[in-house]
Amino acid sequence: MDLQDRLAAVRHRIQEACRRSGRSPEELRIIAITKYTTLEVTERILQLGVSHIGESRWQDARDKWQALHAMGTWHFIGHLQTNKVKDVVGKFAYIHSLDRLSLAEEIEKKAAALQTVVHCFIQINVSGEQTKQGLPPESLFTFAEQIAGMEHIRIAGLMTMAPHEADPEATRPVFKRLRELRDDLNALSILKYEVGGLSMGMSNDFEVAVEEGATWLRLGSVLLGRPEGNNGIRPVGVTSGGG
């Protein structure tokens, strides 16, 4: 199956999940996770109309970004160290891994210097897995209060990674909980604006995520194919936010 066929198949599965849950496919955006692919494959998916590209390491994304950044919108989906913020802010419109105050302060500082606004997703470790990054759910509201006054950070939504389950249905409680947290955050009006986004759902579980309200899907292997030598196995401890 070539790239165009995989994209058509993914879009069909999204449409069916939307039909089952009474949603419109227009509510969702696909982020093509290109961290394991070549510049040529990344260019092709952009040409096919997937305009959102996800990468988790600047050193791996550099060549692709330099060649193709004008063609799409770039999302940083990996764990972000504070000393790497300078490489990301100004290049990536979205950061999906905001999970601590020190990182928010560094993003705010760099964005202010560049006179730009960075759209961030607060990463929540809903499942509580030790191998995953993110705030514990009970810390969300305090964290939101801490960053509410940062003028160069706009919270686009919440992000989580569900456990990799043999039965995707087992991920449903994780996605449902993230949606509830977003709704509670909006009800409290901590940020003074509506937070709409839910960055959740990857290749193994995106249909369940759609049914539970996802607005951004981070899709790698199901869309782009599996990289040679990977055999479909995610290395232990890899929590880079998309696949």
Per-residue pLDDT tens for 91-115? 999 999 999 999 999 999 999 999 9
pLDDT band at residue 240 using 50, 70 and 90 as cut-offs = low
- Of 42-51, 98-107, 153-162, 226-235, the range with the lowest mean pLDDT is 226-235
pLDDT (average), residues 55-72: 97
| CB hemisphere CA count around 227 (13 angstroms) | 14
pLDDT attached to residue 237: 35
Percent of the chain whose pLDDT exceeds 90: 91
Residue 228: pLDDT above 70?
A: no
DSSP class of 29: E
Summarize pLDDT for 79-94 with one digit per residue, the tens: 999 999 999 999 999 9
Cβ pair 215, 232 in contact under 8 A: no
CB atoms closer than 10 angstroms to residue 221 = 20
Element (H, E) at 112: helix 101-114
CA dist 118 and 191 (Å) reads: 15
DSSP class of 20: H
CA dist list (Å): 203 to 149, 160, 229: 35, 14, 18
Residue type, 241: G
Q: pLDDT averaged over the chain?
A: 94
Residue 137: pLDDT above 50?
A: yes
Percent of the chain whose pLDDT exceeds 70: 94
Residue 198: pLDDT above 50?
A: yes
pLDDT (average), residues 45-56: 98
CB atoms closer than 10 angstroms to residue 81 = 11
Residue 238: pLDDT above 60?
A: no
Please tell me the pTM assigned to this model. 0.93
Surface-to-core class of residue 229, CB atoms within 10 Å of its CB (0-12 exposed, 13-18 middle, 19+ buried): exposed
CA dist 78 and 99 (Å) reads: 11
CA dist 175 and 127 (Å) reads: 10
Cβ pair 28, 14 in contact under 8 A: yes
CB atoms closer than 10 angstroms to residue 114 = 12
pLDDT (average), residues 14-31: 98
| CB hemisphere CA count around 188 (13 angstroms) | 14
Residue 218: pLDDT above 70?
A: yes
Residue 234: pLDDT above 50?
A: no
pLDDT (average), residues 54-75: 97
Summarize pLDDT for 152-176 with one digit per residue, the tens: 999 999 999 999 999 999 999 999 9
Q: Which residues contact 220 (CB under 8 A, 6 or more apart)?
A: 32, 33, 34, 35, 36, 202, 203, 242, 243
Residue 231: pLDDT above 70?
A: no
pLDDT (average), residues 173-183: 98
pLDDT attached to residue 241: 78
